[in-house]
């Protein structure tokens, strides 16, 4: 076969395989057997190997994934991926309907769709080819998971026909069917691998895997439900989704238009009863105004569209028997009781354990060993005990009592007034706390150290190689290679990751220390205000209280942390290893007091900055981010789709309303 003949056959095979993929995974109407499909695919794979000049990243052969590890890059959404407002009652749906009619009148249609229980995804198509797939993330930025999404066979790599917009975004939900989930867990059980709790967790975990060749073997699927772009064929949501089917997208057949709220209620009642018969999980119904013109009239709040709402089904309940209670120790020393249950099927998954949260919850439920308990999944995800069938309680059964000593190290537990949790005070000697602190330190939002997962940290701790976060920087390649599951490459990755982590900014190092109540945002505030760890370590209670957003609980926690000699020693060791414990000169130069004494409220979406970036700018210039408008507000920084209630309140209080451009001029 010459080059020309090979090229023609490759193009023909790709076209046929794409058609068969669509027939099988989208239309559920296969025309050929699996064997015939595999023979065609193998033929294409061999031809592409022989003639690499015909490589195409959107070839059907690329769906097998890549066995090289990838690192997820954050990508900004062109259109923010907002959440939907939730309701569990028909009364609130009636209120929603009333609000909509008040603004756009009575002449409109609703579209009702099933609310899938999976992981949201945004797909970007350019000239008919999939070029980017990004997770929801925080709504403004998400992870680029394009390589993983390309392995999902119901998502077209190349669109059908030629009447689609040149550039558009389509969003949907990646999910796993009940059958696919069961097969995956059966395989994991056979291999001695921990089982996934439910299809949603399995989907989210798979989507974030670093090896796309493994993702390709997982039974992921996708329904698409929202299109965005400047050249869409119709001025309405339903009609554009119907059109998207002809481009090759898998759009639910259960989507329908409704005239009036009563038809919406009929749709909800139907699927509340029928959802157990679906091959995938849903947890409610989504209601949208169909017309884009009407959607624009209704607008957005800061977090949700006003033209859509989600009705959540009441959580499914079952009864089972409480066998025992374990007490787990977290990285902060918090003790969490976990109920061990007689296995029971709930919302498509087998439930064996449920969190009891704290001592107050145990007392409130009046739990006894052997009780028959009612279980439901909060938000269809996390199993929880919501009640006890007291009539079934055996006489003489023993009430569950909260423990008084740590189940691992034996230290006497403490509980501060006003707090719900009991704590083990042995921070530096209790194994679960030590390992938990190290896991937190290497996590993505802290030091983001490649190659150090929970299992690896467990192994390093058990071998006596690490007893604190500072010990990580003593690890050597020659020490790691002899360990089980280690090879030269994995040892290199860890050593390199540790070296790279020394470039992490002060705020992330501070977050990584694991000071109680100091989350990612608080760490940024403290770093920008204190400038260095030495200033923070020597700050008094009153000085800390003067920092924006720092309250009594956080201030006292910081003082308690640095009052312990062990913590100061760890900080000093980390300094010696080269970690950053002060703002860089560039960061200091970006700081000013131009907004000192000003309280600023942000609302809406902006052209050039995300809301988090604007808040960071306010902090760096000495201002204070306020969440709500009051007489103390200095400025209302208003973007597109802001809450009209805030605007009205700002006008009423005579507060200056400024744009993004006005704000930037203030600090230049």
Alpha-carbon separation of residue 240 from 56, 225, 288, 640 (angstroms): 29, 10, 14, 25
Q: Model confidence at 628, in pLDDT bands (50, 70, 90)?
A: confident
DSSP class of residue 26 equals I
Mean pLDDT over the full length of the chain: 88
The pLDDT of residue 583 is above 80? yes
Instruction: List the one residue out of 151, 158, 149 whose CA is nearest residue 126.
Output: 158
Output the six-digit token pair for 651.
Answer: 């006008």
Query: What's the CA angle centered on 215, arms 212 and 221, to 5 degrees?
Result: 130
Instruction: List the one residue out of 160, 152, 166, 130 whose CA is nearest residue 245.
Output: 160
Boundaries of every domain in the chain: 3-64, 86-312, 317-392, 431-501, 506-588, 592-667
More confident residue, 403 or 276: 403
Question: pLDDT by residue (tens digit) across 184-237?
Answer: 988 888 877 777 877 888 898 888 888 888 898 999 999 999 999 999 999 999
| Residue 568, pLDDT score | 96
Least confident piece of the model among 116-125, 292-301, 390-399, 598-607: 598-607
| Residue 70, pLDDT score | 57
Q: Which fold has domain 506-588?
A: DNA polymerase; domain 1 (1.10.150)
Q: Which fold has domain 86-312?
A: D-amino Acid Aminotransferase; Chain A, domain 1 (3.30.470)
More confident residue, 42 or 631: 631
Q: Model confidence at 349, in pLDDT bands (50, 70, 90)?
A: confident
Q: Model confidence at 120, in pLDDT bands (50, 70, 90)?
A: very high
Q: Indicate the CATH number for domain 431-501.
A: 1.10.150.20
Q: Indicate the CATH number for domain 592-667.
A: 3.40.50.10190
Largest CA distance in the chain: 86
- Residue 202 to residue 195: CA distance in whole angstroms: 9
Identified catalytic residue from 115, 243, 620, 624: 115
Q: Model confidence at 67, in pLDDT bands (50, 70, 90)?
A: very low
Q: What is the mean pLDDT of residues 66-84?
A: 75
Which range in 94-108, 353-367, 513-527 is most confidently predicted, on average pLDDT?
94-108
Question: pLDDT by residue (tens digit) across 358-400?
Answer: 999 899 899 999 999 999 875 545 688 888 999 999 999 999 9
Active site residue 115: yes
Work out the percent of the chain whose per-residue pLDDT is above 70. 95
Query: Starting from the edge strand earliest in sequence, which strands make up the sheet with 308-312, in order?
Result: 86-87, 308-312, 282-289, 110-116, 256-258
Q: Indicate the CATH number for domain 3-64.
A: 1.10.287.610
Name 569's Cβ contacts closer than 8 Å, sequence gap at least 6: 470
Q: Model confidence at 100, in pLDDT bands (50, 70, 90)?
A: very high
Question: pLDDT by residue (tens digit) across 448-484?
Answer: 997 888 889 999 999 999 999 999 999 999 999 999 8
Question: pLDDT by residue (tens digit) across 26-39?
Answer: 665 677 776 677 67
| Residue 69, pLDDT score | 46
Buried b / exposed e along 279-313 (16+ C-beta atoms within 10 A): ebbbbbbbbbbbbeebbebbbbbbebbbbbbbbeb
| Residue 380, pLDDT score | 46
- Residue 591 to residue 588: CA distance in whole angstroms: 5
| Residue 378, pLDDT score | 59
CATH code 2.40.50.140 for 317-392: yes
| Residue 626, pLDDT score | 79
Integer distance in angstroms from the first to the last C-alpha of the chain? 66
- Residue 221 to residue 153: CA distance in whole angstroms: 7
Assess whether the region 431-501 and the region 592-667 belong to the same CATH fold: no
């Amino acid at each position: 076969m010459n080059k020309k003949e090979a090229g023609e056959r490759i193009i023909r095979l790709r076209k046929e395989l794409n058609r068969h993929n669509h027939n099988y995974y989208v239309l559920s109407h296969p025309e050929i057997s699996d064997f015939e499909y595999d023979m065609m695919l193998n033929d294409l794979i061999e031809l592409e190997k022989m003639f690499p000049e015909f490589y195409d990243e959107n070839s059907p052969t690329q769906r097998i994934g890549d066995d090289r590890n990838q690192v997820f890059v954050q990508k900004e959404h062109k259109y923010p991926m907002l959440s939907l407002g939730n309701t569990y009652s028909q009364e609130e749906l009636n209120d929603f309907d009333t609000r909509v009619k008040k603004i756009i009148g009575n002449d409109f249609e609703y579209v009702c769709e099933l609310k899938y229980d999976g992981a949201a995804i945004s797909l970007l198509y350019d000239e008919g080819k999939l070029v980017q797939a990004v997770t929801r993330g925080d709504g403004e930025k998400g992870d680029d998971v394009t390589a993983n999404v390309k392995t999902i066979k119901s998502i077209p790599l190349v669109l059908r026909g030629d009447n689609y917009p040149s550039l558009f975004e389509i969003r949907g939900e990646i999910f796993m069917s009940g059958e696919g989930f069961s097969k995956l867990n059966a395989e994991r059980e056979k291999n001695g691998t921990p089982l996934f709790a439910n299809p949603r967790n399995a989907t989210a975990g798979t989507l974030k895997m670093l090896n796309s060749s493994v993702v390709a073997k997982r039974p992921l699927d996708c329904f698409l439900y929202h299109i965005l772009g400047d050249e869409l064929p119709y001025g309405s949501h339903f009609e554009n989704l119907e059109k998207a089917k002809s481009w090759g997208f898998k759009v639910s057949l259960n989507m329908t238009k409704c005239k009036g709220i009563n038809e919406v209620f009929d749709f909800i009642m139907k699927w509340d009863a029928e959802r157990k018969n679906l091959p995938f999980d849903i947890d409610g119904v989504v209601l949208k105004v169909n017309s884009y013109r009407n959607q624009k009239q209704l607008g957005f709040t800061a977090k949700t569209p006003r033209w859509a709402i989600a009705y959540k089904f009441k959580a499914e309940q079952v009864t089972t028997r409480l066998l025992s209670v374990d007490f787990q120790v977290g990285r902060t020393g918090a003790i969490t009781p976990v109920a061990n249950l007689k296995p029971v099927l709930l919302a498509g998954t087998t439930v064996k354990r449920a969190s009891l949260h704290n001592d107050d919850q145990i007392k409130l439920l009046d739990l006894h060993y052997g009780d028959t308990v009612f279980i439901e999944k909060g938000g269809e995800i996390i199993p929880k005990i919501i009640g006890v069938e007291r009539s079934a309680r055996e006489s003489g059964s023993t009430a569950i009592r909260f423990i008084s000593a740590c189940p691992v190290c034996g230290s006497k537990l403490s509980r501060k007034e006003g707090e719900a949790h009991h704590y083990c005070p042995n921070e530096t000697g209790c194994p679960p706390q030590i390992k938990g602190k190290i896991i937190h330190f290497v996590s993505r939002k802290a030091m983001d150290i490649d190659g150090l997962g929970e299992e690896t940290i467990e192994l390093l701790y058990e071998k006596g190689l690490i007893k604190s976060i500072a010990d990580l920087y003593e690890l050597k390649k020659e020490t790691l290679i002899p360990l089980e599951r280690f090879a030269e490459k994995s040892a290199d990755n860890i050593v390199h990751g540790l070296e790279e982590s020394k470039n992490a900014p002060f705020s992330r190092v501070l977050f990584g220390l694991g000071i109680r109540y100091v989350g990612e945002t608080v760490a940024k505030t403290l770093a920008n205000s204190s400038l260095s760890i030495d200033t923070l370590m020597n700050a008094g209670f009153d000085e800390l209280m003067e920092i924006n957003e720092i309250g009594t609980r956080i201030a006292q926690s910081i003082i308690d942390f640095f009052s312990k000699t062990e913590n100061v020693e760890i900080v000093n060791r980390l300094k010696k290893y080269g970690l950053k414990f002060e703002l860089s000169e560039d960061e200091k130069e970006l700081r000013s007091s131009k907004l000192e004494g000003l309280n600023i409220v942000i609302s809406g979406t902006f052209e050039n900055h995300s809301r988090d970036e604007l808040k960071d700018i306010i902090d760096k210039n000495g201002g204070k981010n306020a969440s709500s408008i009051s007489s103390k507000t200095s400025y209302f920084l208003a973007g597109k789709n802001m809450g009209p209630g805030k605007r009205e309140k700002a006008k009423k209080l005579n507060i200056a309303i400024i744009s993004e451009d006005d704000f930037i001029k203030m600090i230049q």
